[in-house]
Amino acid sequence: MAEPSFTLTQLRYFAAAAELGSMTAASRQLVVSQSAVSTAVAQLEKELGVQLLLRHHARGLTLTAAGEEFYRELRSYLVHTSELVEVARSAGQALVGDLTIGCFTTLGPFELPRLLAACEQEHPGIHVSVLEDEHAALKHALRSGRCELALMYGYDLDDDIDHVRVGVAAPYVLVGKGHRLARRKKIALAELEKEPMVLLDLPHSGQYFERLVESAGFRPEIRHRSAGFETVRAMVANGQGWSVLNQRPASSTTYDGAEIVTLEISDPVEPLEVVLASMKGVRLTARAQAFVRSSGRAARRREGR
């Protein structure tokens, strides 16, 4: 059987049509005629011997099952064709080009700046843009190709996602300055059983903190839930309850000027890994590989290794 003889242009035109769900929209994005896109896609389907798109009159396009699988593989391929051009143009020079990484919302202020700075110091030609979102949305962004890497916690990572550790985040208890236990350095979670909790209630994070407390043998009485990290800190500082967090701001002062106290947990609780996640089986661009390496070195310096 003869090998298919399709062109890079046909692949690009198909990818645009698949992404936008419309031949017309694809032609506008590519600045070519609609007939050029339609012809290229039809020729690609003929070469492959399979239908990739379903045409719906007045309702645009949808991918067939074969089209979905082909498009998923094609996204990675097109990224690397662009990288190939850059390699040729910058042979013997530093890495250049764009890189999009995702970042879990609450990790941003604590981990992201130092990793961006480390990459910029080693590879000033790499221009990193950041997509901030919650855990499930970042996994979707990786799968859809909206970002190549995602800085996130290392829990609930599915089998199709790889990860490299770049930090750890140990949980701790947070109480107000006037709390009865505020002078202690370390406590057992059970000592807070009769008191209300303020929960950082982000998708997945909320369940993680609840399970962590339940591992001490009791179900917390949750007085307030908030998706805001600083809101939780301020509520605790103002006597609304205690909380468990795993990122530590340098200041004990909350936005409203109140004070909080951090206490170590004596119970055997595992710290969360902070990871750079990527899609398993998808070869990272040279830019993404460079970011992973510089982040790893930054992590080792922070841990004193």
Number of neighbouring beta carbons within 10 Å of residue 204 = 15
Helix (H) or strand (E) holding 90: none
Q: Is the separation of the CB atoms in 78 and 257 below 8 Å?
A: no
Rounded to an integer, what distance in angstroms lies between the CA atom of residue 44 and that of residue 294? Answer: 40
Residue count of the chain: 305
Q: Give span(s): CATH 3.40.190.10, the chain.
A: 94-168+273-304, 172-270
DSSP state of 285: P
Helix (H) or strand (E) holding 29: helix 23-30
What dihedral do alpha carbons 176, 177, 183, 184 form, nearest 10°?
20
* β-pair partners for 153: 274
**Domain 94-168+273-304 CATH superfamily:** Periplasmic binding protein-like II (3.40.190.10)
Domain 172-270 CATH (choose: 3.40.50.170, 3.40.190.10, 3.40.640.10, 1.10.3720.10): 3.40.190.10
Q: For residue range 98-125, what is the model confidence (pLDDT) as tens digits?
A: 999 999 998 999 999 999 999 999 999 9
Q: What is the CATH number of domain 8-79?
A: 1.10.10.10
User: Does residue 254 contact residue 186 with C-beta atoms inside 8 Å?
Assistant: no
> Residue 145: which region, alpha, beta or left (left: phi > 0; alpha: psi -120 to 50)?
left
Q: Which residue has the tokens 């307030």?
A: 224
Of 305 and 143, more confident: 143
Q: Which residue has the higher pLDDT, 202 or 305?
A: 202
**Burial grade of 250 (CB within 10 A; 0-12, 13-18, 19 or more):** exposed
Give the sign of the dihedral formed by CA 137, CA 142, CA 148, CA 154: positive
Asked if the model's pLDDT at residue 231 lies above 60, the reply is yes
Query: In the prediction, which pLDDT does 78 show?
Result: 79
Considering only residues 205 and 115, tell me which one the structure prediction assigns the higher pLDDT: 115
Which of 207, 213, 210, 248 shows the shortest CA–CA distance to 230? 248
Q: Which residue has the tokens 């051009």?
A: 85
- Residues 39-52: pLDDT tens digits? 999 998 888 888 99
Domain with CATH 1.10.10.10 in the chain: 8-79
Check residue 66 and give its pLDDT. Answer: 87
